[in-house]
């Protein structure tokens, strides 16, 4: 569909289009356009130039640009003011992405001819730009670009390897949909068996394997539609085959056939060109998910793990205190600091280095340190300062145990998560932080990230082992509500000891983690309050609505591929829409995020609706609509 023509001088990287009157009022910013090489109408299967609209404005020779924009959007005739519409023109400044060929997107080396027709992109163009059927790409949503009245839905897939090793951030204010986006990404990584450690600050992801939303979809106006199982009872031949596999494991709190059905749909979505699982159900899943499909999958190690085993292990834990070995002597001391949120002086650290090698864990370990210091011939000032600190650490440890959390031994946890030779089934290790103090949350981040990173860098584990190295899984660390875990520093007056150590661990991971196939995902509603040094190393950003000027300015400083006008859009994106920019996509894209499959961990609070629910019954009896 033609929306305008190229105007005036152009370059190989940018041009300005004069818009046709019927389209200059549309919301074109962040939309894509295409041009034929000969300046005419793009033809299917032919090479074409693809560009993104990065600025839209009005011009009238009688008015300034701002005045022209206002006058075009308002009816001023009733005020006795009439600037003729024929003198006002809509313009779109476009940035050229490249030339789209059969091989993909290539650098554009051709000049763009003046008067060339500018068209909305075809489905073929959008799919080549944003969709990849490979299992190593993860579907996140559908392209949101101007295209007239057509109802074409083109999925957007993100390069999962780029996300998992070059780090990503998901930012958005409360209610913008960032948690849904994060859950959707985690679900897709989970469906591919990728190992993740999820620091869940508010239990938003406690139902990651409860796929109650898989058989529901929502219209554009928010109306829910239930999707019916073609068989009717989720007991097709494929489900029955999986249920009778002798080593298949299911949870006891839900019907096993439902769990088997959900696993099959999730895996089929990966296998069948990244088609959304809901679409597979609607189009007849029993034709592609057959007993033979299951038989061939379970014959492979990866397929067997995905279909036969539970994927999530949820833990309520806090850092175990012990001597973690000669390579981790300083680690054990710093962990004591972070545990209570109080620093040791240089003299106190020297003392601890000499005595830290004690047996036992937890309270027994602290007691041995206390006893050693009490009986040693130390400077009384140092001794009298250390002993109360150890007593305070012991009190924190006891409080953590009383909160129904369990101590987490990092050495054992590392082997459980990372050691590939153990063949443990879970791919997601969700750590609930909701019952922990702020210091313990940050101490847990410091302990896990540091122990894992050092075990890869200085230990005997590798994703690609050589010689005597042991095989390990690639790990993705996900920090939900990162502002409370790695907060931005506020200068020399910052006395957040635990936060400082957590940030130090994450910075180390940010700078060097990729060499060891370690990555992170940061999720926050207030990006300007997250440690900027960690965020600066992320290479993909998923941006939901942000209204705070501080957050908007912060996003401008960390994104390089978006114009100021495009970044201004984040103020008004609305729920469920996001901008994705960075190495995981060929070009920044505006998309509508797919609804998550899993149940929300924390339901949306509706106190007034709950309190007034008895009145609803009365309204119905009275026939009040």
> Tens digits of per-residue pLDDT, 307-350?
999 999 999 999 999 999 988 989 999 999 999 899 999 999 99
Residue with the bigger pLDDT between 110 and 390: it is 390
Task: Taking residues 233-253, report their average pLDDT.
Answer: 90
Tokens, residue 88: 């006002």
Q: Model-level pTM?
A: 0.90
Q: What's the whole-number average pLDDT of the chain?
A: 88
Residue 73 binned pLDDT confidence (cut-offs 50, 70, 90)? low
pLDDT on residue 149 = 47
In the chain, the percentage of residues whose pLDDT exceeds 70 is 92
Residue 153 binned pLDDT confidence (cut-offs 50, 70, 90)? confident
Residue 625 binned pLDDT confidence (cut-offs 50, 70, 90)? low
Q: Which of 46-60, 136-150, 335-349, 566-580 has the lowest mean pLDDT?
A: 136-150
- In sequence order, the 6+-apart residues with CB closer than 8 A to the CB of 491 are none
Tokens, residue 347: 């003299």
Per-residue pLDDT tens digits for 250-279? 998 889 999 999 999 999 999 988 888 888
Per-residue pLDDT tens digits for 592-601? 999 999 988 7
DSSP-derived letter for residue 574 is -
Q: Which of 138-152, 159-173, 420-434 has the lowest mean pLDDT?
A: 138-152
pLDDT for residue 65 is more than 70: no
pLDDT for residue 376 is more than 90: no
pLDDT on residue 96 = 93
Q: Strand order of the sheet with strand 589-593? A: 155-159, 137-143, 589-593, 577-582, 540-543, 168-171, 518-524, 475-480, 195-200, 428-432, 312-315
pLDDT for residue 118 is more than 90: yes
Tokens, residue 29: 């910013």
Give CA–CA dist 584/606, Å, rounded: 37
pLDDT on residue 398 = 95
pLDDT on residue 8 = 83
DSSP-derived letter for residue 220 is T
Give CA–CA dist 72/88, Å, rounded: 7
In angstroms, how far is CA 249 from the centroid of its own chain? 28
Is residue 186 within 8 Å of residue 598, measured between CB atoms?
Answer: no
Residue with the bigger pLDDT between 277 and 199: it is 199
On the CB side of 365, how many CA atoms lie within 13 Å of its CA?
19
Residue 58 binned pLDDT confidence (cut-offs 50, 70, 90)? confident
Radius of gyration over every alpha carbon of the chain, rounded to an integer in angstroms: 28
pLDDT on residue 285 = 85
Taken in order 256, 258, 310, 294, the sign of the CA dihedral is positive
pLDDT on residue 378 = 82
Which of 160-164, 420-424, 575-579 has the highest average model confidence (pLDDT)? Answer: 160-164
Give CA–CA dist 285/235, Å, rounded: 12
Give CA–CA dist 165/518, Å, rounded: 6
pLDDT for residue 244 is more than 50: yes
Residue 146 binned pLDDT confidence (cut-offs 50, 70, 90)? confident
pLDDT on residue 540 = 96
Task: Taking residues 502-531, report their average pLDDT.
Answer: 95
Nearest to 30 by CA among 563, 585, 600: 563
**How wide is the angle at C-alpha 582 spanned by C-alphas 578 and 585, nearest 5°?**
80
Which residue is listed with tokens 């790990």?
475
Q: Which of 164-168, 223-227, 495-499 has the lowest mean pLDDT?
A: 223-227
Give CA–CA dist 169/161, Å, rounded: 15
pLDDT on residue 495 = 84
Give CA–CA dist 482/478, Å, rounded: 9
Give CA–CA dist 218/227, Å, rounded: 10
pLDDT on residue 516 = 94
* First-to-final CA distance of the chain: 43
Residue 74 binned pLDDT confidence (cut-offs 50, 70, 90)? low
């Amino acid at each position: 569909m033609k929306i305008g023509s190229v105007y005036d001088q152009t370059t190989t990287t940018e041009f300005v289009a004069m818009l046709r009157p019927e389209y200059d009022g549309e919301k074109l910013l962040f939309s894509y356009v295409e041009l034929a090489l000969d300046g005419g109408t793009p033809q299917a299967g032919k090479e074409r130039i693809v560009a993104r609209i990065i600025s839209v404005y009005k011009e009238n020779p009688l008015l300034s640009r701002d005045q022209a924009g206002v006058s075009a959007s308002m009816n001023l005739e009733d005020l006795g003011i009439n600037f003729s519409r024929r003198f006002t023109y809509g313009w779109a400044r476009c940035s050229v992405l490249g030339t789209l060929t059969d091989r993909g997107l290539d650098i554009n080396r051709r000049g763009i001819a003046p008067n060339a027709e500018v068209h909305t992109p075809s489905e073929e163009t959008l799919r080549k730009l944003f969709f990849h059927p490979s299992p190593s790409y993860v579907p996140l949503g559908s392209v949101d670009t101007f295209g007239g009245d057509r109802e074409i839905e083109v999925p957007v897939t993100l390069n999962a390897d780029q996300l998992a090793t070059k780090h990503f951030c998901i930012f958005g204010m409360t209610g913008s949909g960032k948690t849904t986006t994060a859950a959707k990404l985690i679900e897709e990584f989970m469906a591919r068996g990728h190992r993740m450690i999820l620091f869940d600050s508010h239990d938003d992801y406690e139902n990651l394997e409860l796929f109650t939303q898989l058989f529901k979809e929502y219209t554009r106006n928010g109306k829910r539609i239930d999707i019916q199982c073609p068989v009717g009872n989720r007991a097709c031949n494929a489900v029955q085959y999986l249920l009778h596999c002798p080593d298949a494991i299911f949870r006891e709190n839900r019907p096993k056939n439902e769990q088997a059905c959900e696993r099959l749909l999730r895996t089929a979505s990966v296998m069948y060109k990244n088609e959304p699982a809901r679409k597979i159900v609607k189009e007849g899943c029993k034709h592609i998910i057959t007993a033979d499909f299951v038989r061939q999958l379970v014959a492979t190690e990866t397929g067997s793990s995905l279909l036969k085993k539970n994927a999530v292990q949820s833990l309520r834990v806090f850092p175990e205190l012990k001597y973690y070995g000669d390579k981790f002597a300083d680690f054990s001391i710093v962990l004591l600091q972070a545990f209570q949120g109080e620093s040791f002086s240089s003299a106190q650290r020297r003392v601890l280095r000499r005595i830290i090698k004690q047996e036992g864990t937890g309270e027994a370990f602290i007691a041995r340190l206390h006893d050693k210091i009490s009986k040693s011939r130390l400077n009384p000032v140092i001794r009298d300062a250390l002993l109360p600190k150890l007593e305070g650490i012991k009190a924190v440890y006891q409080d953590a145990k009383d909160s129904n959390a369990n101590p987490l031994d990092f050495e054992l946890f590392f082997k459980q998560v990372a050691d590939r030779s153990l063949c443990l089934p879970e791919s997601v290790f969700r750590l609930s932080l909701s019952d922990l103090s702020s210091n313990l949350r940050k101490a847990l981040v410091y302990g896990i990230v540091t122990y894992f990173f050092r075990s890869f860098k200085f230990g005997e584990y590798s994703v690609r082992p050589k010689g005597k190295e042991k095989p390990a899984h690639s790990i993705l660390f996900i920090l939900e509500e990162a502002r409370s875990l790695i907060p931005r520093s506020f200068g020399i007056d910052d006395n957040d000891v635990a936060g400082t150590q957590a940030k130090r661990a994450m910075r180390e991971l940010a700078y060097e983690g990729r060499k060891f196939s370690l990555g992170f995902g940061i999720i926050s509603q207030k990006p300007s309050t997250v440690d900027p040094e960690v965020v600066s190393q992320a290479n993909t950003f998923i941006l939901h609505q942000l209204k705070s000027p501080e957050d908007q300015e912060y996003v401008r400083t960390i994104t390089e591929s978006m114009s100021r006008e495009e970044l201004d859009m984040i103020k008004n994106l609305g729920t469920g829409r996001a901008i994705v920019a960075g190495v995981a996509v060929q070009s920044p894209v505006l998309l509508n995020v797919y609804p998550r499959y899993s149940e929300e961990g924390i339901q949306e609070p509706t106190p007034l609706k709950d309190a007034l629910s008895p009145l609803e019954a009365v309204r119905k009896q009275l026939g009040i609509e």
